[in-house]
Amino acid sequence: MNKVILALSLMLGCLTFSKAQTNLNDYKYVIVPNKFDFLKEADKYQLNSLTKFLFNKYGFEAFMVNEQFPQDLVKNACLSLRSEVINDSGMFKTKLMVVLKNCNNEIIFTSRVGETKEKEFKKAYNLALRDAFISFETINYSYKPNDKMVAETRQIKPTTTQEIEKLKEEIKTLKEEKYSSIKVSAKVEDKKVEIVEETVVVPEVKKVNTVKTSNVLYVQEIVNGFQIVDSTPKIVMILLVTPKQDVFIVKGKDAIVYKEDGFWYLSENNGLKTTTKTLNIKF
């Protein structure tokens, strides 16, 4: 009887492994968040960066949520899995588990519980995460396009209040960061803004969509976003990155900035109506 039970257990384990492997192979990308829920800071202890590294190590194509995504992923979010790291640590052990969810928030894969008795936080989280990733050693992941998933389109243009709130939810941790102490570096497509005798010299730009040159806005890169300045230079607004390519949340406003058909637009909702205007932003 014991031999029969053991045999059934092995068969069930093999079926579960086969199903997990097939499901994982349907997905082309893995998206890693900037911050895990159980930590207070983005990439605390370099745990998010390590997660991306380990996914790439085991054959996946991983991106941080604020990185520029490939065009097929921009058009179809369902080609990717979103990763989460669950903290189940106790008094004497650090325990972490990796979870992968699809675009419908369904759990596709759950790793083993990686654990360690190491007391120093950074080292403990590092060791526990690597231990959890041992689950991927036997998966032998290899992307195999699923015709149904490839044909699906899941790109949403966020132009309503509800969609703006959804984007805010995805980057709520970014909005809490204080930008007053951040050192920024100017970046306008490798064109420098030079200040000579208190006079700002900017590159000559071509008029776009009948927007006057005097209204040209320039980009200064900051952590997790950009600040937009005019030729004074004066800060006009701060843009926070989102998982969507060329879509940004405007800090402190119910508004977004997005690119469509080669032009940049500011869409703002005051609770009564939505207004949209063209911006001449030079990224």
Between CA 140 and CA 24 the distance in angstroms is: 10
> Dihedrals φ, ψ of 251, to 5°?
-60, 130
Poorest-pLDDT segment among 93-97, 114-118, 215-219? 215-219
Cβ partners under 8 Å of residue 254, min gap 6: 161, 164, 268, 269, 270, 271
pLDDT in tens, 5-17: 434 444 444 444 4
| Residue 154's pLDDT band (cuts 50, 70, 90) | low
pTM, entire model: 0.50
Confirm if 274 and 268 have CB atoms less than 8 A apart. yes
pLDDT in tens, 135-145: 999 988 999 88
Which value, in Å, is the radius of gyration of the alpha carbons in the chain?
23
pLDDT at residue 145, rounded to an integer: 87
Which residues, listed in sequence order, are joined to residue 211 by a DSSP beta bridge?
A: 208
- Report which of residues 74 and 155 the model is more confident about: 74
The mean pLDDT of the chain is: 77
- For 149-164, what is the mean pLDDT? 52
Cβ partners under 8 Å of residue 225, min gap 6: 174, 238, 239, 240, 241, 248, 251
- For 70-74, what is the mean pLDDT? 91
| Residue 173's pLDDT band (cuts 50, 70, 90) | low
- For 212-232, what is the mean pLDDT? 80
